[in-house]
Amino acid sequence: MSTASDVGKAQSSKLAGRALFERIGKPTKIVAPMVDQSELAWRILSRRYGATLAYTPMLHAKLFATSEKYRRDMWSDLDGDESIDRPLVVQFCANDPEYLLKAAQLVENKCDAVDLNLGCPQGIAKKGHYGSFLMEEWDLVANLINTLHTKLAVPVTAKIRIFPDREKTLAYAKMVLDAGAQFLTVHGRLREQKGQQTGLADWATIKYLRDNLPSDTVFFANGNILYPEDIPRCMTELGCDAVMSAEGNLYNPGVFNIEHIGDKEKTFPRVDKVLREYFEIVKQHNCSVASRTAMKNHFFKILRPFLPNHVDIRSQLAQLSPKHPFEEWENVVAAVEQAVLDIFAQPDIATKDVITTHAPQAWGGAYKTVPYWRCQPYFRPVNGVTADKRVAQQFADKDDVDIPSCTPSAVKRDADQDLESDKRKELRKEPAST
């Protein structure tokens, strides 16, 4: 933690806005803050697949400031290490400026900025009074941001959701910036858009904010990223500085490899390759309790399209927990590798291992059919209908057009949802998602 003298010196040299953005390399592809899932090992893997900036999982400021066990569980000596984990933004949820500052000061020497979560829509955030449930308390939000802006040695940033009214959203964004936020990330969904009600992010409102905020604002967009092609499309259509991905990244880290569009090994990598690479990272950085805890969740997401076709491996994985030795996890990894080797030994694999891009959709992008042995976005069914088809139906109802029949069988759930941590539920005060 810095002394008052240290903070004074840091404040005088602390970079703001555009200068900070340039110093960290003008990143354009960002790993979103995801509860228990954007931890150290996943950030390292994501950078290998093209991510140029990463956020930590949302951390509970009061718990981080007061509980040594919580800090041990969520943070390690390697988090924020200059050689493996930068640039890095650490995200906190909070409703008390004092606890937020104390928590942020514990990591200010291990990150490039500290972000305030103003977007978590989950019930636990409502009970804990943080995230998107501060959207009506502008004075408190301004106080939280300004406390870090004036007293922390590194810059403060913020991630928000939108209101139904564009003008109110614009006023809110301006307030956040005026309070001292140096980057603004806009998740183009309402607070109510979660779970089965997630739906499409509103790019039109994101663009409205970009067009009406000061031109030098460092502006990140979040929402509707399924495939690598969606990232440059988002940047072009919205005029944002960078694009943040949550579940798109969780199910396919290759979503960030936009420099290699057309190379399926980089943009839709084989699940066996990604699983092995991720597992070796976890083992190499085993001082990270958070990475070990998140491992099972990541295994299931990487293997999501694969496991329905290999239920024996799914059963094997389901029995594991963070307490099991790496040797037992190795058995699952090796089983996946063998299964994919068997697939590629088939004489007709060249005709099967093909990615098909379907017709452009009314929302601007196009769905793809990807072989199940490759990483790909997840389309979660609701009442038996997958989200891609629900979106198509919404546009068809609006425009009275036929629904394309060539959509893939699967669905994107907003990643700002995964609050699976038992320890958080136990404490009841912990972070939901961003």
List, by residue number, the catalytic residues: 120
Rounded CA-CA distance 159/164 in Å is 17
Give helix then strand counts, H and E, for the chain: 20, 13
| Residues 6+ positions from 401 with CB-CB distance below 8 Å | 362, 395
Rounded CA-CA distance 87/360 in Å is 35
**At 311, which helix (H) or strand (E)?**
helix 311-318
Pairing status of strand 356-360 against strand 366-369: antiparallel
N residues, the chain: 434
Rounded CA-CA distance 121/93 in Å is 12
Rounded CA-CA distance 399/380 in Å is 25
Bond before 87 cis per omega within 30 degrees? yes
CA distances from 155 to 111, 173, 334 (A): 10, 17, 44
Backbone φ and ψ for 355, nearest 5 degrees, come out as -105, 125
